[in-house]
Amino acid sequence: MGIEVVVEGLTKSFGKQRIWQDVTLTLPAGEVSVMLGPSGTGKTVFLKSLIGLLKPETGRVLINGVDMVNGPERDVYETRKLFGLMFQDGALFGSMSLFDNIAFPLREHTRRKESEIRRIVMERIEIVGLLGAEGKLPGEISGGMRKRAGLARALVLDPQIILCDEPDSGLDPVRTAFLSQLLIDLNAQIDATMLIVTHNLDIAATVPDNMGMLYRRELVTFGPREVLLTSEEPAVAQFLAGRREGPIGMSEEKDAATLAAEADAVITLAPRPIVPQLEPSPGLPPRRAVARRRQRVMGMIDRLPSAAQWAIRETYAASAEPYAASAEAPTLPMPPAGSGA
């Protein structure tokens, strides 16, 4: 099973430029989480801070009792082995075959025999659907295949935490749909804790158990996917609708005059519907995170906004398996528009 990642009061700057401040959240063990946000809000910096590649000025990142920000370098280095990191471009060595690229972490960080390395690499290649391409160079395959090769390389050390930095960048909608399914299938097979940084609204709507959003140097929200998907917070609603009207502009923030003019126009837009979360492909085991997540979310449901409560209960009521606490948690009526949820 994956490992819980606890982030407490994280603040990161480059010189005088504050990237984000006081970020606090918990990535639940074995669940899939997504971090959204406009370009330039420090999502990749956040990933690198989790793994200890960048050092925030304040705060902690706790993994198995090790603080990735302030802990001894030896402990941080050992804990980093629990991670698998999938970069935006795959970060493959152009002169190496896919097989050698994927085998690289095993040869670099273990003393396994070549026969064992070959077995592990071919297993990972099969998981990501690249059998037959292992002898090709990165320049001889498509961008989507390079993404999958990068994911296979992230898996060879059996990580318990997987970080994916914009896995959809450069992919068309069809390949993005295949990648989304691959990520869910992967979670079903290895039960790792996963955090995906993305701009893609289809991935955000269908893949994660939990969602967060960085904006204006802060974590706007993080929690069960239904909280963000039903949010009426202006920046969140604008981002999820993919519309121009709202506080987010080309330079991240609009000026007060532009916002006032938009407010006078009284633009209303139907909220993005909550679509069902992807399920593992036929033949794969069910995701073990689903039951853990249900128990966790139902334990906190009374503290969530009313719209999120309604969405969660509707989701679980529609599933074949009855959810825990249903006896003491009757279905709520649909909250009225503008209820502040």
Is residue 19 in a domain?
A: yes
268 domain residue, yes or no: no
Least trusted range by pLDDT, from 120-124, 163-167, 249-253, 310-314: 249-253
- Which tokens belong to 15? 């010189």
Q: What is the per-residue pLDDT for 109?
A: 85
Burial 153-171 (b: 16+ CB within 10 A, else e): bbbbbebbbbbbbbbbebb
pTM of the predicted model as reported, rounded to 2 decimal places:
0.86
pLDDT exceeds 90 at position 45: yes
What was the pLDDT predicted at 251? 60
199 within a domain of the structure (yes/no): yes
Q: DSSP string covering 58-75, please?
A: EEEEEETTEETTTS-HHH
> Cα 50 vs. chain centroid, distance in angstroms?
13
| More confidently predicted of 307 and 39 | 307
Contact 208, 34 (CB under 8 A): yes
Give the pLDDT band of residue 171 (cuts 50, 70, 90). Answer: confident
**% of the chain exceeding 70 in pLDDT:** 86
Residue 144, domain member (yes or no): yes
Range of the domain at 55: 5-231
Residues 6+ apart with CB under 8 A from 16: none
Asked if the model's pLDDT at residue 55 lies above 70, the reply is yes
Domain annotation covers residue 205: yes
pLDDT of residue 229: 93
Which pLDDT score, from 0 to 100, does residue 58 have?
A: 96
Q: Is 60 exceeded by the pLDDT of residue 322?
A: no
Q: What is the pLDDT of residue 341?
A: 39
Structure token pair of residue 162: 């997987």
Residue 228 has a pLDDT of 94
CATH number of the domain within which 92 lies = 3.40.50.300
Residue 9 has a pLDDT of 96
Please check whether residue 18 lies inside any domain of the structure: yes
**324 in a structural domain:** no
pLDDT at 324: 43
Instruction: Tell me whether residue 35 is in a domain.
Output: yes
The pLDDT tens digits of the residues spanning 172-189 come to: 888 889 899 999 999 999
Reported as type and span, the H/E element at residue 265 is helix 256-265
H or E element, residue 249: strand 248-249
Average pLDDT, the chain: 86
Task: Name which of 53-62, 242-251, 279-288 the model is least confident about.
Answer: 242-251
Task: Say if residue 21's pLDDT is above 90.
Answer: yes
What's the mean pLDDT in 109-133? Answer: 93
Assign 323 a pLDDT band (cuts: 50, 70, 90): very low
Q: How confident is the model at residue 335 (pLDDT cuts 50, 70, 90)?
A: very low
- Domain count of the fold of the chain: 1
240 or 194, which is more confident: 194
